[in-house]
Chain A
Amino acid sequence: MTHGKNICNQLKEVRKRIAEENDIPLEIEECTYKGECRGTCPRCEAEVRYLENALAERLRLGKVATVAGLALGLAATTVQAQAPATAPAKIERTQHELSLMADCVTVRGMVRDSKTKEEIPFCRIHIVDYKTHVDIDTVVNNGFKGNFAIRVPKGEYYIHVHHIGYKEGGGRKWTIDKDTDIGDILLEQGVVPVIEVGGVESVPLSTTPPGHEDYYQGVGGAEIIVR
């Protein structure tokens, strides 16, 4: 099992236990995505928001919201005075996102230096909803190459790419209604020169598994460090 899938499965188990402990209806569908992932996706994030709102609702109704410990050894913790800080307005967005679970497609691309055409690794790629300007997701492309791949609901997006030493790239609107390869995103060098990320890797997080060079690594989050 790939590293990202392993993370996803463990996080899924956490969500499942929270839902079960608190009588929150949550249908966790089997992920049909094939290939490397980074352990989370818009669908997984939407489930977390859904659970947060459901727990907040329990607290508002005077019920106990129990956030259970996992097999990592934690005891169940009863949360009474600690409502998750989630605004009610997010409920609507979460339901919308849940409804889009079955409509996710893959967006691929490659980030290159505009002058040398060399691939640029460790970029932050922001996927922004064209209509709402909401940042749907931010990924980091493959640790040692410039290619990236991300699952998003069908829709219209801006795709912005950032990297230290370069001006922001991308920025145009994309209509994504099927698996799409947006080709090369060229970054123009900025004031700060490109910093080559070097060093030693003693854990497998940034190593691309053979046969999965197309996909970004499962490190999650907005940015990456070399570990």
Chain B
Amino acid sequence: MEAVPFIGIDRHRLGVDGVGVTTLAAFHGCPLRCRYCLNRRCLESPDGLPRYTPQQLYDHVGIDNLYFIATGGGVCFGGGEPLLRIDFIEAFRALCGKSWNLTAETSLQVPAESVRRACAVVGDFIVDIKESDPDIYRTYTGGDASRAWDNLRLMLSLVGPEHVTVRIPLIPSFNSEADTDRTADRLADLGVTRLDRFTYRVQ
């Protein structure tokens, strides 16, 4: 498999990407164009970015193997949109086996088949659902909310709510607390039990 570009690899993350000590590996590339994207580098040219094959990434992050095993941690794939690289993630899982937990932070703006394949190899998901109102969703991200929500339903049916954390952002100038309350209610109706509500602080 050819090497793919990454915008960053961040070690020793505690409590932000799931259980234990994790390393965040952020892929380049995303189908959305969020107004307040946290990682704009993933939308620009991949020229100059470090590239890794699954084996190379495995060798690179393996420096923290002891922490991963001791704490139940592992690697969190983010980006960008990591499920655009499902081939890579599957190959990575084959390398690390069951000893590392794999997490994916995803917007779910990918084909349903990618979600199915991800559910077979990723242990936990952190879903950036953005918004439940389709107009707000499109205004903020440029994407279609229904695809993300359909994929969320699929994911919940495949892995169960205990492996899915959904993030609900309060985004100044785009949504309100009432909007986030409505989104939380809709998620509860779907069976989501793990929510992470937070507020964007625009600088």
Taking the complex as formed, is B8 at the interface, i.e. its CB lies under 8 A from any CB of chain A?
A: yes
Closest-by-CB residue of B relative to A77 is B69
Residues A202 and B169 in contact in the complex (CB < 8 Å), given A74-B19, A221-B23, A226-B39: yes
Residues on B lying within 8 angstroms of A by beta carbon are 6-14, 16, 19-21, 23-24, 26, 36-41, 44-45, 47-50, 60, 62-67, 69-72, 78, 99, 169, 198-203
Residues of B contacting A77 in the complex (Cβ-Cβ under 8 angstroms): 69
Closest-by-CB residue of B relative to A86 is B65
Closest-by-CB residue of A relative to B200 is A200
**Which residue from A68, A84, A199 sits with its C-beta under 8 Å from B38?**
A199
Residues A72 and B36 in contact in the complex (CB < 8 Å), given A85-B65, A202-B200: no
Residues A227 and B38 in contact in the complex (CB < 8 Å), given A192-B45, A192-B47: yes
B198 touches A70 (CB 8 A): no
Residues of B contacting A51 in the complex (Cβ-Cβ under 8 angstroms): 66
- Shortest C-beta distance, B69 to chain A (Å), equals 5
Residues of B contacting A202 in the complex (Cβ-Cβ under 8 angstroms): 38, 169, 198-201
Taking the complex as formed, is A14 at the interface, i.e. its CB lies under 8 A from any CB of chain B?
A: yes
Closest-by-CB residue of B relative to A218 is B12
A72 touches B71 (CB 8 A): yes
Residues of B contacting A190 in the complex (Cβ-Cβ under 8 angstroms): 48
Sample (12) of A-B pairs whose CB atoms are under 8 Å apart: A7-B14, A48-B63, A74-B20, A84-B66, A164-B48, A192-B47, A201-B38, A223-B10, A225-B41, A226-B38, A226-B39, A227-B16
Closest-by-CB residue of A relative to B23 is A221
Residues A67 and B70 in contact in the complex (CB < 8 Å), given A197-B40, A200-B201, A223-B8: yes
Top 3 closest pairs, chain A to chain B, by CB: A221-B11, A225-B8, A220-B12
A-B contact count (CB 8 A): 131
Residues on A lying within 8 angstroms of B by beta carbon are 6-7, 10-11, 14, 17-18, 38-40, 45, 48, 51-52, 55, 67-70, 72-74, 77, 79, 82, 84-85, 164-165, 190-192, 195, 197-203, 219-227
Residues of A contacting B65 in the complex (Cβ-Cβ under 8 angstroms): 52, 84-85
Q: Dominant SS at the A interface?
A: loop
Residues of B contacting A199 in the complex (Cβ-Cβ under 8 angstroms): 36-40
- Shortest C-beta distance, A52 to chain B (Å), equals 6
**Which residue from B23, B49, B72 sits with its C-beta under 8 Å from A74?**
B72
Residues of B contacting A17 in the complex (Cβ-Cβ under 8 angstroms): 70
Residues of B contacting A198 in the complex (Cβ-Cβ under 8 angstroms): 40
B21 touches A14 (CB 8 A): yes
Q: How far is the CA of A72 from the CA of B72 in the complex (A)?
A: 8
Best-buried of B13, B78, B199, B202 by chain A (most CB within 10 Å): B13
- Shortest C-beta distance, B104 to chain A (Å), equals 15
Residues of B contacting A203 in the complex (Cβ-Cβ under 8 angstroms): 16
- Shortest C-beta distance, B131 to chain A (Å), equals 15
- Shortest C-beta distance, B52 to chain A (Å), equals 11
Other than the given A199-B38, A222-B9, A225-B7, 19 more pairs (CB < 8 A) read: A14-B66, A40-B11, A72-B19, A74-B19, A77-B69, A82-B69, A82-B99, A84-B65, A164-B49, A192-B45, A199-B36, A200-B36, A200-B202, A220-B12, A221-B9, A221-B10, A223-B6, A225-B38, A225-B41
